[in-house]
Structure 1
Amino acid sequence: MSQTIASLMNREVTQVGPDDTLQAVEAKLVAKGLSWVPVVDASGVVMGVISSADLLRAHAEGKTAPKVSAWQLCTYKPVTVHPDATLAEVARLMTEGNIHHVVVAEGPNLKGVVSSLDFVRTFVV
């Protein structure tokens, strides 16, 4: 597992803006078949991530789509790794933090994303 995370990450990243509504975020996730998405500000910096669990929580709390923005839903300061991080390092971060999603960035520049499912796919022949 000395291979880098850059070899596993998804480079085509669907993202949402901080002012996108809950409804817009849900529509994007459904349209793309995703379970999470980074929230990126106007300068391209990742502010946080929104997962399907965050959306379920918002609905359970009675938050309504037109009144709730992505910045109100997201988990701030997501786990972020450099593209040169090894698969083993990232897997350890994910298991220790009990997280399923990691942002790959060089400084403030978003380079890709990785989910636990991406790791599972490495074992499918």
Structure 2
Amino acid sequence: MSQTIASLMNREVHAAAPDDTLQAVETQLVAHGLSWVPVVDHGNVLGVISSADLLRQHAGGSSPPKVSAWQLCTYKPVTVRPDATLSEVARLMIESNIHHVVVAEGNEIQGVVSSLDFVRTFVD
């Protein structure tokens, strides 16, 4: 696994704005067949929202219409450079117990990677 994460990442990135409603985030996830999106403000990645985050919010019994993406997102997501190796990123995901990584060069998002992307390498 000496390949870089750039070879595995999804370059088409759909992101949520901090003030997007949860309904808008859910609509985006469904429309694009996604399980998560980064929350981005003026090019800065603030956090990520996953379908599990949304499920927890709904399961809690209260899903006020005014809850915004920034209020629900997991802050300070793990970010890696495009030249990180697949092994380094996989190890980081395991150690951090996470399923989603943002690939960025400085403040510019280059792509995103999920644990499912790693699984796909075994069937392609």
Runs of 4+ in 1 over 3 A off after TM superposition: none
Inter-partner Cα distance in structure 2 for 1:71 and 1:10: 23
2:120 aligns with: 121
* Worse-matched range after superposition: 84-93 or 59-68: 59-68
Matches within 5 A, 1:1-125: 1-41=1-41, 43-125=42-124
Secondary structure of 2:65 counterpart: helix
Identity %: 81
1:71-113 per-residue CA deviation (whole Å, 9 max, x = no partner) reads: 0010000010000000000000011111110000011111100
User: Unaligned 5+ residue runs, structure 2?
Assistant: none
Inter-partner Cα distance in structure 2 for 1:82 and 1:65: 36
Could you tell me the TM-score, scaled by structure 1's length? 0.95
Secondary structure of 2:20 counterpart: coil
Could you tell me the TM-score, scaled by structure 2's length? 0.96
Q: CA RMSD in A?
A: 1.0
Read off the aligned partner of 1:104 and give its amino acid letter. Answer: V
Aligned length: 124
